[in-house]
Structure 1
């Protein structure tokens, strides 16, 4: 009985706790660091990517999503990862591929782990908060302007799909 009360109390209080985005940074594919805190108050979509995946064409849609909503505050962060053994050998190769094939100018990290014990702290926080772990490349996590996870999508969800765009416009409206 006491355990049930503790669990119910924890569930009740969690509704009031903020799930703020951890103040973490990523190594940038351009050198230096990308600090999540630089985007405080803005919605951020984080996508684990890979250059040699059947879903790699989604880079084009990620850029289109970024182009469509960046002036309204959206940040789209590509996180190249080799966790599914489909990434090029170096960040320099990834950067060149993405610029040449897709003309990307959205922020990108260096090659980063997104699952397992070696996962980046952001992905560990998302797992802890929501249970969501990327099951493949091009999984998407949308954080609202308040840092809360708004929605997650798997690889098959197109970045320009109605459900993704609806969630993005709602997150932008909450700024």
Structure 2
């Protein structure tokens, strides 16, 4: 009886802590994502909760692909202040063809990206990545092309969107980030 009571108490405590953890996690960060060209998955809430994020849909064969360099500059500038760039490669606009290995080479070797890059995913429709489904729900907008940028507050709310043509190092984008830090 005593053992049964202890097991029941442990189970209730475990369930309660799981519920509290998931209840405190913003919807945009619920779930796991696989890293680009890897079998490793990360728990988004554990990794990014309480940080200001710039979520970017990327493509390795696009005219905007050189923005990886500026995104990395932005990441390096603000990473110690609770900011992270998170890239989500997508072939929705047919600009990220080939293997994930090729996309990873372009990101990591050609442009020196150190910020987290997730596995290739769809941005909209029934197979949309859950992060982008939540972005669309919150912001009422879906990316119209590659390198759309979504600024997400520490509370997990989309607070600003920037089109592909907005340079990651533009004063407009930097000012928006600085206001969140």
Can you list the C-alpha shifts for 1:23-81, whole angstroms capped at 9, x where unaligned?
13221113311322021111111100001101001000000000000011111001110
Alignment correspondent of 1:97: 106
Distance in 2, Cα, partners of 1:167 & 1:96 = 30
Alignment map for 1:8-47 (pairs within 5 Å)? 20-29=27-36, 30-37=38-45, 38-47=47-56
Task: Verify the 8 A CA contact 1:98 1:104 in the aligned structure 2.
Answer: yes
Structure-2 separation of matches of 1:166 and 1:128:
25
Larger proportion of helix: 2
Q: Does 1:58 align with 2:67?
A: yes
Specify the structure having the higher radius of gyration (Cα): 2
Partner in structure 1 of residue 116 of structure 2: 107
Q: Which residue of 2 aligns with 1:13?
A: none
Please show how residues 26-175 of structure 1 align to structure 2 within 5 Å. 26-29=33-36, 30-37=38-45, 38-172=47-181
**1:167: Cα distance to partner?**
0.9
> Is the 1:47–1:79 Cα contact (8 Å) retained in structure 2?
yes
Output the CA distance in 1 between the equivalents of 2:146 and 2:84: 19
The normalised TM-score by structure 1 is 0.83
State whether residues 44 and 142 of structure 1, in contact with CA within 8 Å, keep that contact through their aligned partners in structure 2. Answer: yes
Q: Write the distance in 1 (CA, Å) between the matches of 2:42 and 2:161.
A: 21
Q: Which runs of 5+ in 1 are unaligned?
A: 1-18
**What's the counterpart of residue 10 of structure 1?**
none
CA distance in 2, matches of 1:34, 1:157: 29
Cα distance, 1:22 vs. partner? 4.1
Specify the SS of the correspondent of 2:132.
helix
- SS of the equivalent of 2:28 reads coil
**Contact kept? 1:141, 1:149, Cα under 8 Å:** yes
Q: Is the 8 A contact 1:51 1:97 kept in 2?
A: yes
